Structure 1
Amino acid sequence: MANDFETIKKNANSFIIEIHKFVRENFQVSIGDQKKYLDSVTKDSVKTGQAKLGSFIISMSDVLLDSTIIIIYTFLFLIYKEHFKLFLAKLIRKENHPVLVDILSQIKVSINNYIVSLIIEMIVVSVLTSLGLWIIGIKYFILLGLITGILNLIPYIGILIAGIITVLASLTGSAEFSMILGILIVNVIVQFIDNNLLVPLIINSKVEINAFVSIMGIIIGGAAAGIAGMFLAIPLLAILKIIFDRIESLAPWGYLMGNHVPRKFRWRAKKVTIEN
Structure 2
Amino acid sequence: MFSIITNWYKERFSDPQAVTLMLILLGIALIIYFAGGLLAPLLVALVLAFLLEWPVAQMVKIGINRTTGASLVLVLFVGVMLLITFGLVPSIWRQGVALVTDLPTMLDKGFITLKGFVEQYPQFLSVEQLDASVGELKKLLDTQHILDLGKQLIGYSASLLVLMVYAILVPLLVFFFLKDKDELVRGSKRFIPANRDLARKVWLEMNQQIFNYIRGKVIEIVIIGAASYIFFAIMDLRYAALLGVLTGFSVLIPYVGATLVTLPIALVAFFQWGISPEFGYLMLGYGIIQALDGNLLVPILFSDAVDLHPVFIIAAVLVFGGLWGVWGVFFAIPLASLVKAVVNAWPKADKPELEKSKTEAEQGAV
Instruction: Sort the TM-score into its range (normalised by shorter chain).
Output: 0.5 to 0.7
Deviation, structure 1 residue 113: 1.5
SS in 1 for 2:272: coil
Counterpart of 2:309? Answer: 211
| 1:19–1:240 distance in 2 versus 1, CA, 3 Å | closer
Between the aligned partners of 2:115 and 2:246, the Cα distance in structure 1 is 31
Secondary structure at the counterpart of residue 252 of structure 2:
coil
CA contact (8 A) 1:133 1:141 kept: yes
Between the aligned partners of 1:116 and 1:192, the Cα distance in structure 2 is 21
Deviations 1:218-256 (A, max 9, x none): 344345555543332211233345556666549xxxxxx
Does residue 1:202 correspond to 2:301, yes or no? yes
Aligned counterpart for 2:192 among listed residues 91, 98, 116: 91
Q: Which position in structure 2 is the counterpart of 1:17?
A: 112
- Supply the AA of the counterpart residue of 1:146: V
Aligned to 1:162: 261
In structure 1, give the amino acid aligned to 2:297.
Answer: L
CA–CA separation in structure 1 for the residues paired with 2:256 and 2:130? 28
Which one has more relative contact order, counting CA pairs under 8 Å at least 6 apart? 2
Q: Give 5+ residue unaligned stretches, structure 2.
A: 1-94, 350-366
Q: Which amino acid aligns with 2:113?
A: E
Identify the residue that residue 115 of structure 1 maps to in structure 2.
Answer: 214
Shift of 1:25: 4.0
Residue 102 of structure 1 and its aligned partner are, at CA, apart by 5.9
How many residues are aligned here?
Answer: 231
Q: 1-side partners of 2:243 and 2:301: how far apart?
A: 23
Structure (1 or 2) with the larger CA radius of gyration: 2
Residues 106 and 267 in structure 2, CA contact (< 8 A), matched pair in contact too: no
Matches within 5 A, 1:244-263: 249=348
Q: Determine if the alignment matches structure 1 residue 232 to structure 2 residue 331.
A: yes
Q: CA deviation at 1:163?
A: 2.6
Amino acid at match of 2:130: L
Shift of 1:148: 0.8
Would you say 1:38 and 2:130 are equivalent positions?
A: yes
Once the two structures are superposed, residues 141-180 of structure 1 have per-residue CA deviations (whole angstroms, 9 ceiling, x without a partner) of 3542232102321345533443343245436633336655
Q: Is the 8 A contact 1:113 1:207 kept in 2?
A: yes
Aligned residue type for 2:292: I
Q: Which runs of 5 or more structure 1 residues have no equivalent in the other structure?
A: 251-276
Aligned to 1:149: 248
Deviates more, 1:193-202 or 1:4-13: 4-13
Alpha carbons of 1:178 and 1:100: their partners in 2 closer, same or farther (altered >3 Å)? same
How far does residue 118 in structure 1 lie from its aligned partner after superposition?
0.4
Which secondary structure state, in structure 1, belongs to the residue aligned with residue 336 of structure 2? helix
Give the Cα separation in 1 of the matches to 2:281 and 2:241. 16
CA displacement at 1:125 relative to structure 2: 1.9
**1:123-146 Cα shifts (integer Å, max 9, x gaps):** 232244345545655234354223
User: Residue 245 of structure 2 aligns to a residue in which SS?
Assistant: helix
C-alpha separation between the residues in 1 aligned to 2:106 and 2:339?
51
**Structure 2 length normalisation: TM-score?**
0.45
The SS at the match of 2:273 is coil
Distance 1:14 1:240, change over 3 A: closer
TM-score by length of 1: 0.56
Distance 1:28 1:214, change over 3 A: closer
